[in-house]
């Protein structure tokens, strides 16, 4: 695993180096950081690479939810090397412990990146619980995502995107998710968060001509 994670990290770094990277909406992130409130960064599993690479360049006190599944171990090691503290587990296994650790981070003004459709999907459909936790601990929620003009797409459930060299990578920091009225049930919460994330996912895909 150590060798594979080292190779993976080197490949990821090289791919970003060999692309023109354009950041959109960075002020959205910097303004939240100045506010001093905890932040939940919501990402889709298949686009995890883009926000993970970017956020560490701008922020500290970073945490990421990382499944204990063997398939996720390589990415978990890469995130740790990039400066993330890992919260190990998922909503399926050890869910209560994960929520408690997230709450501890939020109480200390930290940042947690959550793959809202992980660990096994369905893709681009958020799981319930995130907005309720954000409301409870007065957490700002945003999504950060990315796309590429040239890319490989893995034949995995999440259709993981890996940029090819010599293209352009666009990374989009969305505006704050506005929750005027707390969702009344899980279905309403899932729709609220999924629609928000997919709106900005589609926007960055349009930037690169993917849709």
Looking at residue 89, what is its pLDDT?
Answer: 78
| Peptide bond before residue 200 is cis, with ω within 30 degrees of 0 | no
Domain holding 51, by residue range, is 2-207
Mean predicted lDDT score pLDDT of the chain: 92
Looking at residue 70, what is its pLDDT?
Answer: 64
Instruction: Please give the average per-residue pLDDT across 22-41, as a whole number.
Output: 94
Residue 32: pLDDT band (50, 70, 90) is very high
Q: Which residue has the higher pLDDT, 77 or 92?
A: 77
Strand locations in 72-139, DSSP E? 85-88, 111-115
Can you tell me the distance from the alpha carbon of 209 to that of 192, in angstroms, rounded to the nearest whole number? 26
Angle at 16 between CA 79 and CA 60, to 5 degrees: 40
Task: Provide, rounded to the nearest whole percent, the portion of the chain with pLDDT above 70.
Answer: 97
Residue 73: pLDDT band (50, 70, 90) is confident
Q: How many distinct structural domains can be found in the chain? A: 1
Can you tell me the distance from the alpha carbon of 145 to that of 162, in angstroms, rounded to the nearest whole number? 13
Looking at residue 40, what is its pLDDT?
Answer: 97
Looking at residue 46, what is its pLDDT?
Answer: 96
For residue range 143-157, what is the model confidence (pLDDT) as tens digits? 999 999 999 999 999
For residue range 86-102, what is the model confidence (pLDDT) as tens digits? 998 765 555 788 899 99
Domain CATH number, residue 81? 3.40.1130.10
Looking at residue 92, what is its pLDDT?
Answer: 58
Can you tell me the distance from the alpha carbon of 197 to that of 203, in angstroms, rounded to the nearest whole number? 10
For residue range 146-204, what is the model confidence (pLDDT) as tens digits? 999 999 999 999 999 999 999 999 999 999 999 988 888 999 999 999 999 999 999 99
Looking at residue 24, what is its pLDDT?
Answer: 98
Looking at residue 71, what is its pLDDT?
Answer: 67
């Amino acid at each position: 695993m150590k060798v594979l994670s080292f190779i993976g990290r080197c490949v990821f770094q090289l791919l970003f180096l060999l692309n023109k990277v354009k950041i959109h909406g960075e002020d959205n992130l910097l303004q939240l950081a100045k506010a001093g409130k905890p932040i939940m960064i919501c990402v889709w599993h298949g686009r995890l690479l883009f926000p993970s690479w970017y956020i560490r360049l701008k922020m500290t006190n970073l945490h990421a939810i990382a499944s204990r599944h063997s398939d996720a171990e390589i990415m978990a090691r890469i995130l740790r090397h990039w400066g993330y503290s890992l919260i190990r587990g998922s909503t399926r296994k050890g869910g209560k412990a994960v929520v408690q650790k997230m709450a501890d981070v939020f109480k200390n003004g930290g940042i947690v990146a959550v793959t809202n459709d992980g660990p096994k999907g369905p893709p681009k459909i958020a799981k319930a619980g995130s907005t309720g936790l954000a409301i409870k601990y007065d957490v700002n929620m945003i999504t950060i995502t990315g796309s590429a003009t040239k890319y490989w797409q893995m034949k995995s459930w999440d259709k993981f995107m890996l940029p090819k060299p010599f293209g352009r990578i666009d990374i989009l920091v969305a505006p704050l998710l506005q929750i005027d009225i707390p969702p009344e049930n899980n279905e309403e919460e899932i729709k609220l968060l999924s629609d928000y994330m997919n709106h900005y996912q589609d926007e960055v895909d349009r930037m690169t001509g993917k849709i």
